[in-house]
Amino acid sequence: MSILTDVKTHPNSTEAVETVDKPNTDSSGKAILTAEEIHKLLPHRYPFALVDRILEYVPGQRAVGLKNVTFNEPYFQGHFPGRPMMPGVMIVEAMAQVGGIVLIQLPDLEGGLFVFAGIDKVRFRRPVVPGDQLIMTTELISIKRRRFGKMLSRAVVDGQRVAEGELLFSLVD
């Protein structure tokens, strides 16, 4: 299931801008998983814990996560002084962590550690800057031999796509 819905022209530009619907949360509008619950599932810790909330979760299929991008992120000191932008590798890592929420909870794989095995067809569409809310949707494409996973991931800010690509994972002992 994709949350992609429309392509519109931005009011201040003649360029087409892809927009997406906001992901569904539970009926109260709260997160499905809080930061504390995410830390129980994923091994990442500061400064590499890059998912603040899980907004949607469909077991074995997909997850939607949120990252509040703040000026206090350690990489903004040098990337770039006077014009801070979230590094693309950090955006991809955040998308992968959302994918980790799906992988780590698959039957017979719970508790395993998945690491990157490859990154394919990744494209960056616009900068992510302090103050942005990065919404990442990661969908499981396949699992092979219960050791390798392939996921499709997309990140948006204010309904505009900022990054997308295929993420490949391997289960390590």
pLDDT digits (tens, 9 = 90+) for 77-106: 999 999 999 999 999 999 999 999 999 998
What's the total number of domains in the chain?
Answer: 1
Task: Give me the catalytic one of 10, 39, 44, 79.
Answer: 79
44 is catalytic: no
CATH at residue 52: 3.10.129.10
Distance CA 151, CA 169 (A): 8
Token pair 């780590």 in the structure block, residue: 104
Residue 85's Cβ-count burial label (10 Å; 0-12, 13-18, 19+) is middle
Q: If you search the block for the tokens 């530009």, which residue do you land on?
A: 13
pLDDT band, residue 169 (cuts 50/70/90): very high
Q: Residues 9-24: pLDDT tens digits? A: 333 334 444 434 444 4
Range of the domain at 117: 4-172
